[in-house]
Structures are given as structure tokens and as C-alpha cells.
Chains A and B, each alone.
Chain A
Amino acid sequence: MPRYIILIGLILSLSIASFSAGLVAAPNYSASQVEAQQAIETAQTTINDAFGQITQADLAGADISDLVSALNLAISDLDLARAAFSASEYASTTLLAESAQNAAEAVLNEAQTRVTVALTNSIIQVLLILVVILAVVVFTYLLITRWRKHKQQQTRTLLRMEIHLPREEERDE
């Protein structure tokens, strides 16, 4: 038998063997399982993003207590989704994860709005403080000016005063 036929046969056998091994080793995920896993990951990412916006709103001074409650409900839904995934209930997993994601998205949007409002309020607060500072400086300046004028007036009055010395006859008496 020619040597090249043996070589081709060997290569073909090895290729088929490795392909079969690959098929056996690869995990056999169903489409719904992959979808469920992706839904969980997407929901977790959205929850993390919403938490980031809530933190921004908190730092900006906004009231975030209702947003935190709403996001905790989304986290609970995601916990249920993970439990369903562990029980191989992929359809419920996807539904629960999507519910968590929708809730987290609503929180994310509301938190963004509150960040904007809180920042605007902060700017107004700073402007008000600056106005108060300016008013205090102007008031102090006016007070000092008025006091100086008053002192000048007093000095002028003193200068205009006539000195009446007693006459010599009066002194003798």
C-alpha cells in the first residue's frame, strides 16, 4: 500500500476522533438555558448601573429611600431567577430576570432625573450663599461708611464749637 494513502488515512482518523471528542466534551446547553443565563447577567448589570446612579443621587443630596426599596425588590426577583435557574426552570428564570431588569431600569431612569434635580438645587444653594456673602459685605461696607460719616460730623460739630472763657472781672469775683 502506498505510503501517502496510509498518511491520509491517519490524518482523517485523527480529525474524526478529535471532532467526536469535541462533541462529547462540549456542554450541551439548550437555547432556553443560554437565554436564561444571559437574562440573569443582563439584569445584574442593570442593577449595578442603577446602584451607581442611586449613589450619585445620594451624594448629590437627593432623597433615595424609595429608589433603594424598588431596587431591592429587583434584587429579590433576581434571587428568585437564580433559584429557578438552579432548578432548571429556564422559562421562569427568563421571566423573573426580565422583571428584575425592567424594575432596575425604572430605578436607573428615576435616579438619573434626581441627580439632575439635586445638582440644580446644589447650584442654587451655592448661588444663594454667594448672594448672602455679597449682601453681608455690602451691608458691612455701608455700616462702616455711615459710622465714618457720623464720626466726621461729630468732629465738625466739635470744631464749630465756640470757647467761652470767663472774663477777668468774673474771675475776680
Chain B
Amino acid sequence: MSKHAKTVLTILMIGIVLSTSTLLISLWLLPPQEQTPTLSILDENQQANYPTSISQYSNITLYVEVENLMGVVQYFYIYVKLASPTTMASSNNPSSAPLIQEYQRIVLHGGSWLFSTQLNMTTLGINFRLTFELWRYDLATDTIDYTGIWVHLPLNVTVS
């Protein structure tokens, strides 16, 4: 084997070893890539049969589930609002309707947070949007930021 071939072989071997080790280090030490969390609501039987109309002053029970797929532990907030078609939330802006309930929880990466909420509907009206917005505490800015994720339930509140 010539001296030249030996040098080439050595460099090749070192290259293979370094690239393999870099890959292993990145797999072991770096956190998984950031994705978006999910937010869903279910009825009191944890099914997707949502009420569309309820009597005034009656309670509505819903289950809310948040799944953390963001690659790292998260401090989530759920803001519940009774919005109208004009104050609906969007992916860019939260609803401007007043807050009626607030929940907060820290969720591990890959973990989920399921809880039930019972809301008493005192306001009479039609075309309400019972809105659940997902917010998260941002460590870098020390603020609670809107994630752009929301779900709503169209609801009429009628005279009992």
C-alpha cells in the first residue's frame, strides 16, 4: 500500500468515526424538534356530541384535553370566553370577549392534560361561541403568550 493510499484511508476512517459520533451526540443530547400542541373539547360523556342549545342558568360540563408535542415541558393556560361571531378568536388574535374561566397546568413533553369544566350560562342569547384558547408561559419574555390554537362550541342560551 502506498503512503498516499494510507493517508487517504486514515482520513476516511476518521471522517466516518467523527460523522457517526456527531450523529450519536445529536440524538442523545439534543431535545426533539418543536411541534405544535393540540387542544380538543369533548362533552360530559367524553364524546363528540356537543350541545347546541342550553337553558339559561343551567350548567354545561365539558372535557378539555391539551397534548404537549412541543419537544419540552410547557406551562399551559386555558382561557374560557363566551364570544360572539364578531369577537371570535383567530389563529393570529385571541377573542376579545371577557374571560369567564382560567385553568393552568404544567405538561411534560408527550404528556396530556385532561380536565372537566362546569360552566354556568347566565347570559341569554344566540350564536354564542364558547371559546377555549390555549396560551403558554414564555420563559424568555416572562409573559403568557397566545399559541394561536383555539376551539369553540356554537351555543344558544335560551329562556329556561
List the interface of chain A (C-beta within 8 A of B).
48, 51-52, 54-55, 58-59, 61, 64-65, 68, 71-72, 75, 79, 122, 125-126, 129, 132-133, 136-137, 140-141, 144, 147-148, 151
- Nearest B residue to A141, CB-CB: B10
- Nearest A residue to B28, CB-CB: A125
- On chain B, the residues within 8 Å of A133 by CB distance are 17-18, 21
- Nearest A residue to B104, CB-CB: A75
- Nearest A residue to B24, CB-CB: A129
Residues 88-130 of B contacting A (Cβ, < 8 Å): 104-109
Q: Are A59 and B31 in contact (CB under 8 A)?
A: yes
- Select the residue from B1, B25, B29, B73 with max chain A CB neighbours within 10 A: B73
Q: Please name 15 pairs of A and B residues whose Cβ atoms are closer than 8 Å in the assembled complex, sorted by A.
A: A48-B75, A48-B142, A52-B139, A54-B73, A58-B72, A58-B108, A68-B107, A72-B105, A122-B29, A133-B17, A133-B21, A136-B17, A144-B6, A144-B10, A148-B1
- On chain B, the residues within 8 Å of A71 by CB distance are 106
* Least CB distance, B62 to chain A, in whole angstroms: 18
- On chain B, the residues within 8 Å of A141 by CB distance are 10
Complex CA distance for A102 and B105, rounded to whole angstroms: 18
The A contact surface, by secondary structure, is helix
- On chain A, the residues within 8 Å of B25 by CB distance are 126, 129
* B14 contacts partner chain A, Cβ-Cβ < 8 Å: yes
Complex CA distance for A55 and B106, rounded to whole angstroms: 10
Q: Are B14 and A75 in contact (CB under 8 A)?
A: no
Q: Are A51 and B28 in contact (CB under 8 A)?
A: no
Q: Are B106 and A72 in contact (CB under 8 A)?
A: yes
* Least CB distance, B78 to chain A, in whole angstroms: 12
Complex CA distance for A140 and B75, rounded to whole angstroms: 49
* Least CB distance, A106 to chain B, in whole angstroms: 15
With A48-B75, A68-B73, A137-B17 given, name 16 new contacts (CB 8 A). Answer: A51-B75, A55-B73, A58-B72, A58-B109, A68-B107, A72-B106, A75-B104, A75-B106, A122-B29, A125-B29, A126-B29, A129-B24, A133-B18, A137-B13, A140-B10, A144-B9
- On chain A, the residues within 8 Å of B50 by CB distance are none
